[in-house]
Amino acid sequence: MQKRTLGKDGLQVSALGLGCMGMSFAYGGADERESIRTLHRAVELGVSFIDTAEVYGPFSNEELLGKALKGKRGQVQIATKFGFKILPQGEGLERMAGVDSRPEHIREAVTGSLQRLGIDSIDLLYQHRIDPAVPVEDVVGVMADLVREGKVRHLGLSEVTAATLRRAHAVHPIAAVQSEYSLWSRDPEHGVLPACRELGIGFVPYSPLGRGFLTGALTSRDSLAHDDFRRGLPRFDAAAMQHNLTPLRRFGELAAARGMTPAQLALAWLLHQGEHIVPIPGARSVVHLEENAGAARLTLEPAEAAAIAALFAPEQVSGARYAEGDFALIDA
């Protein structure tokens, strides 16, 4: 697996990472044994950039990684996130009760993450969502203290505007921004992506396969588990999915003509957007991990990439990426 560098302080990671949220959270039941096999296979393939968060579970995803990656610390770079207020009772999403980036909570969250992951230092620590009650300068100040204390190596932010990123980067170098970015979610192209290029900051697209839609395997919401959070997303409304199947079919034809799967072509398109971009597709099985990893060997010509992008131009996509209330947590 080829390597890419996030930020100017030399955080080297695999060109494709592995998003682990779905192993414990949001998409319905997962098989822990298969998740562990998937993590072990990722290490074998050189997919070394592993992404988690305290809120995934909550907490259980970090615990899973701690178990699966024991004895493999030198072979992986682990990214995790803080920033949500997590209730002591409840299940999954119902335990999320807004945001919390008070200094004392940041330190508490990092202590918990280190313990659950079984590591001494977090390679990349993100603020998961901006907290309007705490200036980003103060948040990054605490994160920078954690770097000086050796508990964290590099800093990141998630779902922020270019203006917020500049304010944060002035306090301490930011290695990476993580935001949703894929063929059908192109918002970062209009602000934060150009800022990352200018400042020498890496960009980590989450949901690079459109939460599974761009793989071509998900054509009806009826196939989603009853507790799959995609059932609440406008793009997975039945009418929106039916509309979006039109460009998806053409996309599948282009992938087949190149001898790729749709997932591989979607990831290859993202990798083509810049050397500072490191997608983190989720995978809960070895077969999907291996399919995704194959995209790192693929290249696209500029004209080909432009034609693919045009298929999913924003005006061609039906449905917002989040429900209206969820956008309250997005920096805008």
User: 294-303: b or e for each residue (b if 16 or more CB lie within 10 Å)?
Assistant: bbbebebeee
Phi first, then psi: give them for residue 187, nearest 5 degrees: -50, -40
Mean pLDDT of the chain: 95
- Residue 327, pLDDT > 80, answer no
Give per-residue pLDDT as tens, 59-109. 999 999 999 999 999 999 999 999 999 999 888 778 888 999 999 999 999
- Residue 244, pLDDT > 80, answer yes
- pTM here is 0.96
- pLDDT band at 33; cut points 50, 70, 90: very high
Reference 274, options 244, 246, 245, 305; nearest CA is: 305
User: 51-76: b or e for each residue (b if 16 or more CB lie within 10 Å)?
Assistant: bbbbbbbbbebbbbbbebbeeeeeeb
- Residue 3, pLDDT > 80, answer yes
Give per-residue pLDDT as tens, 103-156. 999 999 999 999 999 999 999 999 999 999 999 999 999 999 999 999 999 999
Output the pLDDT for position 30. 80
- pLDDT band at 54; cut points 50, 70, 90: very high
Alpha helices per DSSP H over the chain: 32-45, 60-68, 103-117, 136-148, 162-171, 192-199, 238-257, 262-272, 286-293, 302-311
Instruction: Decide if 181 is catalytic.
Output: no
Rounded Cα–Cα distance for residues 312 and 243 (Å): 12
Inter-axis angle of helices 103-117 and 60-68, to 10 degrees?
Answer: 40
Reference 281, options 228, 212, 235; nearest CA is: 212
- Do the beta carbons of residue 57 and residue 24 sit within 8 Å? yes
Strand-pairing partners, residue 170, are none
- Residue 209, pLDDT > 90, answer yes
Of 56, 126, 181, 206, which is the active-site residue?
56
Output the pLDDT for position 26. 74
Structural domains of the chain sorted by starting position, each given as residue range(s) with its CATH number in brackets: 3-329 (3.20.20.100)
Output the pLDDT for position 243. 96
Output the pLDDT for position 103. 97
Output the pLDDT for position 304. 95
